[in-house]
Amino acid sequence: VIDGAGQPIGDAMIETWQADAAGRFNSPTDPRGAAEATPAGFRSLARVFADESGTIVVHTVKPGALPAEDGAVEAPHINVGLFARGMLERLYTRLYFPEDTDAHASDPVLSAVPEADRPKLIAEKTDRGYHLTIHVQNTEGR
């Protein structure tokens, strides 16, 4: 997590909320009804603090695609809420996965983001999982 001056935000905290591997939320409000989480014991929510370098590590499963309210399909993603110094309210973003490019094209939320900004929401695949740098203040003039 990086601030507008390019400095790490060592006191940031994120809250993630995501579907399980089958694309279902661990919620009684899931319109498809109750189901066992995939994998068993999976929790849809996490809260994690940054270290002094602004790094936050979340151990989770890759979510499956899930139905959107309008009948479309949302690409696999993780919802992220960010809390940090000087912020009175959390900021929201999403993390998408680079291998799901076909699903990105029809995702209703990602499609609403200006095309030039969409890459900022797509994580990079690494040897250990995925990496996404979250810039709290835009330094590109948009």
Q: What is the CATH number of the domain that holds 103?
A: 2.60.130.10
- pLDDT recorded at residue 25: 81
Q: How many domains does the chain have?
A: 1
The residues facing 95 across adjacent strands are 78
Is pTM beyond 0.85 here? yes
pLDDT digit string, tens, across residues 97-126: 999 999 999 999 999 999 999 999 999 999
> Each residue of 49-64: b (16+ CB within 10 Å) or e?
ebeeebebeeeeebbe
Under 8 Å between Cβ of 87 and 67: no
- Provide the domain limits for residue 44: 13-131
- pLDDT recorded at residue 142: 53
The two three-digit tokens of residue 107, written as one number: 């995702």
The residues facing 77 across adjacent strands are 96
Question: Which of 13, 134, 7 lies closest to 83 in space, CA to CA?
Answer: 13
pLDDT of 35 higher than 80? no
Domain assignment present for 56: yes
Mean pLDDT for 7-23 is 93
Q: What are the start-end ranges of the H helices in 48-125?
A: 101-106, 108-112
